[in-house]
Amino acid sequence: MTLGGLNNKEVVVDLTAGTIDYRGIKEEDVKKYIGGRGLGVKYVLDNGPQIEPLSAENILCIMTGPVTGSRTTMSGRLCVVTKSPLTGTVTDSHMGGWTAARLKWAGVDNIIFKGKSNHPVYLYIENGQAKLRDAMDLWGKGTRETVKAMQEKYGEKDLSVMTIGQAGENLVRFAGFMNEHDRSAGRGGTGAVAGYKNLKAIVIKAAQKGNMPQPALADDYKEATKKATKAIMDGGLTAPRKGGLSVYGTNVLANLINEVGALPIRNSQETHWDEAEKHSGEWVNANILSKNNACHACPVACKIEVEVKSGKYKTKVESFEFESGWSLGSNCGLSDSEAIAYLINLCNEYGYDTIELGHCFSVTMEAYEKGIISEKLVWGDADAMIELAKDIAFRNGLGDVLADGPARATASWGVPELSMSVKGQSIPAYDPRGIQGIGLGYATSNRGACHLRGYTVASEIAGIPEPTDRLVPEGKGELLKVFQDLHSFGDSMDICKFSSFSENAEHYAEQYSSMTGIPMTADDIMKAGERIYNLERYYNNLAGYNNREDDFLPKRFTEEAATGNSKGYVSRMDIMLDEYYKARGWADGIVPEEKLRELEII
């Protein structure tokens, strides 16, 4: 295969046998599933949808896309694809920074892990060759200590390390990978899968010089990247040092979402809180901002590094994201941005999802408040949250119960309705009563509750690409499908989600076509995205998610009214879900055979 942008090299690691093989990538698979998320899901489906997530039979795929590590703006992404131990669905979780680019510069496109090692190991990659090395001395260490040890061994220059922490080692079901820049592949429990396999880290040594992916159509690619970069530079949200994302990072949304009455407060019991302003992007920038950092090939630099210079919450961490700040903050009745920064730092050190951890706290707080459990945790008690975070990472006491995720924990307490989750994964920072489309997105997301599968907030709040009324349910089924299909392609190319605030399907088509040499139009892009989204749904159908009841929202959102500037509203899933199924051509959540054939999945 001679497609541009690809090394045409996958590393296949059999951890049971301790062997490494190399293989090419099928051109037919690239044409149909692009790379990244799409191709990873294809591999996970081929491996079998009914295997146990925490088993030697599950595979763990580290995937890049055809533009990864290139001059394409915002192309520093990779994704980890596997069967999730948190949800039982197929999942993919993406990581920024420089790890993805260095993997491509090292001459490798993807890594497929199968089996289970009988002792801790890490994979080292340099000059297109991979070696398994002993990690006994790394096991038990946090992510930062692991990164430091690898830098001391191999030199910090041109080195990337993605590693699990103690949470992954102890099979916390929402553990993820962290890299040397505190960038995380956090959702879905990919780190627990690595922990089960005794895989501690992936270490990559590679320089950019002479190794950057080359386009098939150089002149066309130069023009396509110029056009796409201009869109980013001129974008209202993405413009460097001007747009909200560049100035405040993702936390630019905190005050805005709170003001419209769509910020979930105290486990979604309310949707507005005056104290939320104290962990907003504006507050953080004015009080604890250290600097703005960027990923490979990104002028936006949305990563907010913060530093608390003194006191019991003294810390320095990247990144104070909107989701993390909300989940560990307003979701738990905590407004102290310094304490939140400290908690984010713990998440990065132990290696787990900040969103899921915040929900562990909030369900425990509500359960204690209502007399359901005796373990004491009250709203806003940062010090107790810090101690519980440690207990979860090491599965001590109550932490052992919560390490299996809030959905399982509340079910064990007899109150599953207290978990604000879909398919076992907890919701992010947008309340579905105040933003109707995103609620439908949570319900129909193939990896459990997620805003990044179909970010209708762009339209419902920011008016991108055109405004829709956030409180009106009609039309949201078709709107969501468009966002889901576009994001499916973008995640497979693999390009940062924030590019879609300024770029469109035509930009993606021009960059993909000129890079790979495979001609695609904007319509082709959307068709490929639809194929990938249906492939994921097909996997979930085969894995046991095969009826309408699986696409739901917790009753709190459909029966209890919002507060603030969304006062009186509930999520109208009764209207939106039927509309969505019609737009998708699905039968009560199941992909019919004719749709699978139409999209050439079977």
**pLDDT for 357-378, tens place per residue?**
999 999 999 999 999 999 999 9
Q: What is the mean pLDDT of residues 463-489?
A: 98
Give the tens place of pLDDT for each residue, 96-152.
999 999 999 999 999 999 999 999 999 999 999 999 999 999 999 999 999 999 999
Contact 75, 68 (CB under 8 A): yes
Average pLDDT, the chain: 97
Contact 126, 206 (CB under 8 A): yes
- What residues contact 467, with CB distance under 8 A and at least 6 apart? 459, 460
Residue 45: pLDDT band (50, 70, 90) is very high
Give the tens place of pLDDT for each residue, 303-357.
999 999 999 999 999 889 999 999 999 999 999 999 999 999 999 999 999 999 9
Q: What is the mean pLDDT of residues 390-400?
A: 98
Residue 274: pLDDT band (50, 70, 90) is very high
Amino acid identity of 406?
P
For residue 166, give both structure tokens: 């103690």
423/408 Cα distance (integer angstroms): 11
pLDDT for the residue numbered 34: 98
pLDDT for the residue numbered 2: 81
481/486 Cα distance (integer angstroms): 9
Q: What is the 3-state secondary structure (H, E, C) of 321-366?
A: CHHHHHHHCHHHCCCCHHHHHHHHHHHHHHCECHHHHHHHHHHHHH
529/484 Cα distance (integer angstroms): 8
Give the tens place of pLDDT for each residue, 148-166.
999 999 999 999 999 999 9
203 closest CA partner among 259, 114, 278, 138: 138
191/165 Cα distance (integer angstroms): 8
The pTM assigned to this predicted structure is 0.98
pLDDT for the residue numbered 319: 85
Provide the β-strand partners of residue 13. 20, 113
Looking at the predicted structure, is the pLDDT value of residue 1 above 80?
A: no
Q: What is the mean pLDDT of residues 468-476?
A: 98
